[in-house]
């Protein structure tokens, strides 16, 4: 049996004569508006149990989707099951709306804000409703609301990470504004975490900000990691990096590392805590920090303003992948970026079987507070 294709106006006319219209799109698509009077039953549900949703196989039935393709396919599937009076709306809801026919928002307790805000994620089958829910349930610890933490936290909040715990004991300085995009001119002198909370809540009020105006030390690192799924190191200084590394190995939390210097940056994922002996930690590369006198005084080193943006967003990308279980994490690889040459280079990192912290069977030796010699970038 050939399926009839109707224009939206024709379908509307039939509908007014009492013919039933079913919108076969997914619930998250219907929240942006559906043809007035239509019943929302997504295609999979309808095809799985058509007798339940449309018991009379000889009663005329109109189907509509977004563009007219899925409704046609659904009609084909129903015809094969013995339905005899099917029609599909050509051009779907898009055409229906374009022709100015009436639409309504679906009833029920569908969270319109959630579905609108994350619609571009929900359209990705790799994320979808389940993935977006996972992000909403996640808590990420962002160390530093500076050059790396700013772009990273900005996009993580936009993407829908449910809770961002941000730790930074610094205040906003005018020299920060060249790259630390969470802050603003009128917040100079305010705590960075307060400024960050203002910006992030303005962007996405659904994201909960846990502002911690503290420097990371051995005394508070366990507390900071409590209930955290992933740690993003945006502090870019040695004492914090080693402390976070050791704590993340101890607690089995992946650490997304980033660093910038002048025109170059690098990023990696250290996930030794969840895979001892299989993935490296930061100490597998550099067992101990350099002596303070050998390290540059970071507050005096320049950095190209966009560079932390590039590196911070690579870190945020890895955080999202880890939370969603997507793709291949940058674990066991160090990605280096050279802005002047516009080149990426990748170095393989192997776990060190003698690593003082993450080697298999190694017992935790306690935290070490190294002397601070490099302020947050
Ligand atoms: Zn290690």
| pLDDT 10s digits, 56-94 | 999 999 999 999 999 999 999 999 999 999 999 999 999
Predicted local distance difference test score (pLDDT) of residue 111: 79
Contact 373, 295 (CB under 8 A): yes
Nearest alpha-carbon partner for 90 in 65, 114, 108: 65
Mean pLDDT over the full length of the chain: 93
Contact 142, 374 (CB under 8 A): no
Distance 61 CA to ligand 1 centre (A): 64
Strands 333-338 and 343-348, sheet pairing: antiparallel
Query: Which of 4-8, 111-115, 148-152, 269-273 shows the lowest mean pLDDT across its residues?
Result: 111-115
297 pLDDT more than 90: no
Cα radius of gyration rounded to whole Å, the chain:
27
Task: Assess whether 355 carries a catalytic annotation.
Answer: no
Give the C-alpha separation, 175 to 139, whole Å. 30
- Tens-place pLDDT, residues 338-370: 999 999 999 999 999 999 999 988 899 999 988
Tokens representing 163 are 């809770």
Catalytic residue, candidates 284, 298, 358, 374: 298
374 pLDDT more than 60: no
- Tens-place pLDDT, residues 187-221: 999 999 999 999 999 999 999 999 999 999 999 99
Give the C-alpha separation, 21 to 15, whole Å. 7
Predicted local distance difference test score (pLDDT) of residue 26: 87
Distance 122 CA to ligand 1 centre (A): 37
Per the document, the length of the chain is: 377
Q: Can you list the positions of beta strands (E) in the chain?
A: 4-6, 20-23, 34-35, 39-40, 61-64, 86-89, 103-104, 139-143, 163-167, 208-212, 230-233, 255-261, 264-270, 333-338, 343-348
288 pLDDT more than 50: yes
375 pLDDT more than 50: no
Strands 333-338 and 264-270, sheet pairing: antiparallel
pTM (2 decimals)? 0.77
The residue-averaged pLDDT of 175-188 equals 98
Contact 164, 200 (CB under 8 A): yes
Q: Which distant-in-sequence residues (6+ apart) come within 8 Å of 221 by Cβ?
A: 243, 244, 247, 367
Q: Which distant-in-sequence residues (6+ apart) come within 8 Å of 189 by Cβ?
A: 171, 172
Name the residue with tokens 């402390």: 243
The residue-averaged pLDDT of 281-292 equals 89
DSSP one-letter code for 54 = -
Predicted local distance difference test score (pLDDT) of residue 366: 92
Distance 284 CA to ligand 1 centre (A): 4
Predicted local distance difference test score (pLDDT) of residue 340: 98
The residue-averaged pLDDT of 144-156 equals 98
Give the C-alpha separation, 144 to 93, whole Å. 46
Predicted local distance difference test score (pLDDT) of residue 110: 66
Predicted local distance difference test score (pLDDT) of residue 298: 54
The residue-averaged pLDDT of 271-280 equals 95
CB atoms within 10 A of CB 372: 14
Distance 296 CA to ligand 1 centre (A): 25
Distance 317 CA to ligand 1 centre (A): 23
Q: How confident is the model at residue 376 (pLDDT cuts 50, 70, 90)?
A: very low
Give the C-alpha separation, 40 to 25, whole Å. 7
Distance 276 CA to ligand 1 centre (A): 8
């Amino acid at each position: 049996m050939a399926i009839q294709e109707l224009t939206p106006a024709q379908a509307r006319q039939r509908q007014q004569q009492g013919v039933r219209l079913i919108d076969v799109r997914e619930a998250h698509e219907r929240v942006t508006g559906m043809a007035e009077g239509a019943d929302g039953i997504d295609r999979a549900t309808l095809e799985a149990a058509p007798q339940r949703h449309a018991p009379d196989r000889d009663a005329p039935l109109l189907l509509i989707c977004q563009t007219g393709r899925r409704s046609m396919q659904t009609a084909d599937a129903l015809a094969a099951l013995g339905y005899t009076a099917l029609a599909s709306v050509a051009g779907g809801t898009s055409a229906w709306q374009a022709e100015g026919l009436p639409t309504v928002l679906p009833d029920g307790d569908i969270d319109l804000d959630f579905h609108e805000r994350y619609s571009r994620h929900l359209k990705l089958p790799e994320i979808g409703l389940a993935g977006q829910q996972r992000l909403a349930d996640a808590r990420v610890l962002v160390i530093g609301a500076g050059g790396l933490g700013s772009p990273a936290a900005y996009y993580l909040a936009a993407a829908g990470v449910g809770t961002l715990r941000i730790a930074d004991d610094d205040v906003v300085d005018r020299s920060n504004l060249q790259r630390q995009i969470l802050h603003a001119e009128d917040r100079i002198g305010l705590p960075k975490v307060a400024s960050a909370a203002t910006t992030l809540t303005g962007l996405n009020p659904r994201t909960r900000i846990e502002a911690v105006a503290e420097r990371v030390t051995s005394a508070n690192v366990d507390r900071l990691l409590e209930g955290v799924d992933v740690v993003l190191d945006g502090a870019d200084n040695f004492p914090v990096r080693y402390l976070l590394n050791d704590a993340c190995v101890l607690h089995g939390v992946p650490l997304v590392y980033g660093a910038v210097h002048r025109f170059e940056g690098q990023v990696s994922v250290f996930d030794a805590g969840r895979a001892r002996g299989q993935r490296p930690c930061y100490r597998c590369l550099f067992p101990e920090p350099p002596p303070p006198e050998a390290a540059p005084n970071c507050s005096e080193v320049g950095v190209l303003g966009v560079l932390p943006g590039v590196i911070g967003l690579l870190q945020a990308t890895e955080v999202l992948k880890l939370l969603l279980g997507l793709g291949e994490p940058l674990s066991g690889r160090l990605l280096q970026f050279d802005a002047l040459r516009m080149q990426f280079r990748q170095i393989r990192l192997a776990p060190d079987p003698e690593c003082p912290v993450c080697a298999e069977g190694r017992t935790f030796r306690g935290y070490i507070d190294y002397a601070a010699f490099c302020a947050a970038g």
